[in-house]
């Protein structure tokens, strides 16, 4: 089982959503982003941290430091379910292959149609195949 599967199984088993995993070079630092409908607090991070330490010991996952965090207001969007869930919100998106010499787009996420992420920008509506989306984040409103 790979690290993502191990963490996702452990986190979802406790009722949380795995948003992302960041590993430093050499995997010495593991930073894990979790979410839950009511929002993540410090106690949630402690619960996940304690649980994962035990899981990592059993699964022989080698690391020096473990950090558990909320994804924040500028939450990354990774999975198709993320793009569906946050339809109607403002996003910043970067694609792997330029579209009209442009790789960065900002606008309102319209959701997913077929296997494409649809974003409405000032220049019109764009559909990007999900596998071509390199990076996407929500744009927080204050």
42-94: pLDDT as tens digits? 999 999 999 999 999 999 988 899 999 999 999 999 999 999 999 999 999 99
Q: Residue 115: which CATH number?
A: 2.30.30.100
Note whether 125 and 86 are same-domain residues. yes
The domain of 95 spans 80-138
Mean pLDDT of 8-37: 91
Q: Do residue 111 and residue 60 come from a single domain?
A: no
SS3 for 50-107 is: HHHHHHHHHHCCCCCEEEEECCCCCCECCCHHHHHHCCCCEEEEEEEEEECCEEEEEE
Domain boundary among 39, 69, 99: 69
Q: Which residue in 44, 43, 51, 2 sits closest to 23, CA to CA?
A: 2
DSSP three-state, residue 7: helix
pLDDT at 27 over 70: no
90 with 35, same domain?
Answer: no
Number of domains in the chain: 2
């Amino acid at each position: 089982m790979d690290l993502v599967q191990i963490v996702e199984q452990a986190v979802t088993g406790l009722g949380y959503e795995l948003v992302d995993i960041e590993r430093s070079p050499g995997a010495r630092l593991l930073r894990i982003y979790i979410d839950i409908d009511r929002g993540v607090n410090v106690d949630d991070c402690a619960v996940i941290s304690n649980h994962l330490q035990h899981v990592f010991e059993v699964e022989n996952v080698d690391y020096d430091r473990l950090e558990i965090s909320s994804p924040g207001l500028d939450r990354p969007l990774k999975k198709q379910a993320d793009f569906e869930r946050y339809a109607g919100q403002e996003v910043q998106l970067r694609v792997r292959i330029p579209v009209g010499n442009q790789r960065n787009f900002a606008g309102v996420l319209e959701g997913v149609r077929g296997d494409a992420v649809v974003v409405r920008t000032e220049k019109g509506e764009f559909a990007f195949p999900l596998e071509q989306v390199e990076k996407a984040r929500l744009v927080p409103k204050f």
